[in-house]
Structure 1
Amino acid sequence: MVQFDSTPALIVVDMQNGFCHKDGSFARLGIQTDPTTIVARINELISEFRATGFPIYFLKTGYQADYSDRRGRDRHDRLEQLQGLLRGSWDAEILDELTLEPDDIVINKTRNSGFFRTSLENTLRERGVDHLILTGVGTDVCVETTARDAYQLNFAVTTISDATGTCNESDHLAALHALRNFGGTASTSEVIEVLEKLRNSKNM
């Protein structure tokens, strides 16, 4: 059962055109995910987090124009040839279906983990966040890596099983199985139920 001891934050990982849009760089590379279902569930969580006043963080992968900040870069790499995920480009932007508001925090990253050489940990600590609710893509790559790092940094972690996704179901399920040892998983409806109870208790 999901429990929030104090302040949770919603973390939306890499829901970008490059990874998720049918015209994005990953689709052009033949790596396609269908984000339709998880977008709807992430939006449900975003609405509930906003209603309860808890913070929302969007993580974005984006590289410099020369890709000098990309791990293991290779000028013959297809992503670089396609000019994919360049910082400031359409490819690197968050999907239009996920609307950001001024209070939402966007963290740029260049590695799988949202914590690697970013301001994420510091800004979470500053806001008193101690429980991360993870959504986004890919379950087996950036979501799982971020969850593992968060767990090692002593955050409570819950990965949302039906608001995360990757290129195929077997890899998605394998990642969720592994994450049972790094905070565990829950469904969108389970998290929303807890948030609604918190909101109702505040209004009493």
Structure 2
Amino acid sequence: MVQLDSAPALVVVDMQNGFCHEQGSFAKIGMQSEPTAIVPHINELRSAFRAANMPVFFLRTVYKADYSDRRRRDARDRLEQLQGLIRGSWDADILDELTPQPGEKVVDKTRRSGFIRTSLEDTLKERGVNHLIITGVGTDVCVESTARDAYQLDFAVTTPLYTPYDRSGARRRRQK
């Protein structure tokens, strides 16, 4: 059992329709939508955090309609062709099964890490949070990037064992 510091927060990364739903933009470009298997585990963790009156944060990747805030711009990019993850779209929304509840904060991001060009660090520090439990989709990309940056910013970091989905594995399966 992990011993939590006195002020933990749960951070749920990119559990959005675009990444996770079978009709989302990533499924349409050939990425599997396996991350939905972790939804019950995330909800269990989330319930425990809510019951203990500990904060829950959702990180969400969203872009402007013209993608001018996206780091890598490629005219042939399939995500842009599908108009995926546009701010305010169904694709950018958190999965229905994880809809944020009152008091749970949603932080929009345009980079892999939830700390780059967002209010996350300031909000966590204002609340006195010193330990992050980070879960979600893209373990090898966005979860890992957020966890590394959190550690560099002096937060204790835990990633649950049931955060197994990574995009590199999905790419390998798709290429077979």
> Given the two structures, how large is their TM-score scaled by the length of structure 1?
0.80
Please report how far the alpha carbon of residue 170 of structure 1 lies from its aligned counterpart in structure 2 after TM superposition: 10
Cα distance in 1 for partners of 2:36, 2:103 equals 25
Equivalent residue, structure 1, for 2:33: 33
8 Å Cα contact 1:57/1:107 also seen in 2: yes
- The structure with more helix, counted as a fraction of residues: 1
Equivalent residue, structure 2, for 1:67: 67
List runs of 5+ in structure 1 lacking aligned partners. 172-204
8 Å Cα contact 1:84/1:91 also seen in 2: yes
Cα distance in 1 for partners of 2:129, 2:31 equals 34
Equivalent residue, structure 1, for 2:7: 7
Cα distance in 2 for partners of 1:145, 1:124 equals 17
Cα distance in 1 for partners of 2:166, 2:2 equals 23
* Residue 104 to residue 55, structure 1, CA distance change in 2 (3 Å): same
8 Å Cα contact 1:13/1:142 also seen in 2: yes
Cα distance in 2 for partners of 1:18, 1:2 equals 32
Kindly, what percent of the aligned residue pairs are identical?
A: 68
State the AA in 2 paired with 1:122.
D
Please report how far the alpha carbon of residue 165 of structure 1 lies from its aligned counterpart in structure 2 after TM superposition: 1.9
Cα distance in 2 for partners of 1:62, 1:170 equals 22
Equivalent residue, structure 2, for 1:137: 137
- Mapping of residues 1-204 of structure 1, within 5 Å: 1-167=1-167, 168=169
State the AA in 1 paired with 2:88.
G
Q: Secondary structure at the match of 2:2?
A: coil
State the AA in 2 paired with 1:10.
L
State the AA in 2 paired with 1:93.
D
Please report how far the alpha carbon of residue 164 of structure 1 lies from its aligned counterpart in structure 2 after TM superposition: 4.6
CA RMSD across the alignment: 1.5
Cα distance in 2 for partners of 1:115, 1:125 equals 12
Question: Which structure has the larger Rg?
Answer: 1
Q: Secondary structure at the match of 1:69?
A: coil
List runs of 5+ in structure 2 lacking aligned partners. none
- The Cα offsets for residues 74-97 of structure 1, whole Å up to 9 and x where unpaired, read as 222111000000011000000001
